[in-house]
Each structure stands twice: as C-alpha cells, then as structure tokens.
Amino acid sequence: MLIKLLSEYIDGAGSIIIEVEDPDYAEDDEERKLRTRRIGFYFRNGCFDTGVRVRCFGVVFILLKMGNTELEKQECWEMYSSFYRAVLPKDMYDENIELLGYTDENT
C-alpha cells in the first residue's frame, strides 16, 4: 500500500530501502531480541532481505526492501549510497558510509 501511495507522488517509485539494525551486533541479549523482533515486523509486512550489509555512522545495518521492483545487491547498494551522497558532504559520506558486503540472502 505504501508503495502504491508513493508511486502516485513520485514517478517510478517501485522500492523502498529500509535500514534495520543487525542483531548480530547488539550489545546484549535484550537488544538482540528487540532487533530480531523489529526485523520480524518488517518481514511480516512485506519486506525482504536484500543481502546487503552496511555500516552507517558506526551502526551495522541489514538493508531490507519493500516493493515489487527486483534489485540486484549491487543496485541496492548503489541506490542506498546515492541517497547519502546526495545529502551528506563528501568527507562526511567517506567517513561514515561503508559497504560491509553481501550475504547469500535473496532479494
């Protein structure tokens, strides 16, 4: 539904990229459980793991995708990083936005 609403206002909107904190990097068990529940919420509401892992301002994120548009992992990273390149000064981007890698998860 959100994709449909966005596509009415933004030409070509077909996917939304969502950052969610990686439970593997939680400081304690309570935080790990919270992060896992949060990811479950997104999965139950139509999101998929893109297989892209990033560090943004020191926080490790799993990138999720909502929408019907197919994205390769590299395309997802490029979409994600282009947003931050557009809103951050170059030196701030270079110091704080990092591709950690790709997993075997399907988009």
CA dist 76 and 72 (Å) reads: 6
Instruction: Give domain limits for the chain.
Output: 14-102
pTM, entire model: 0.84
Q: In what order do the strands lie in the sheet with 97-102?
A: 15-21, 59-67, 47-56, 97-102
Q: Which residues pair with 102 in a beta bridge?
A: 52
107 residues of the chain, pLDDT tens digit each: 455 555 555 555 667 899 999 999 999 999 999 999 999 999 988 889 999 999 999 999 999 998 777 889 999 999 999 999 999 999 999 999 999 999 986 54
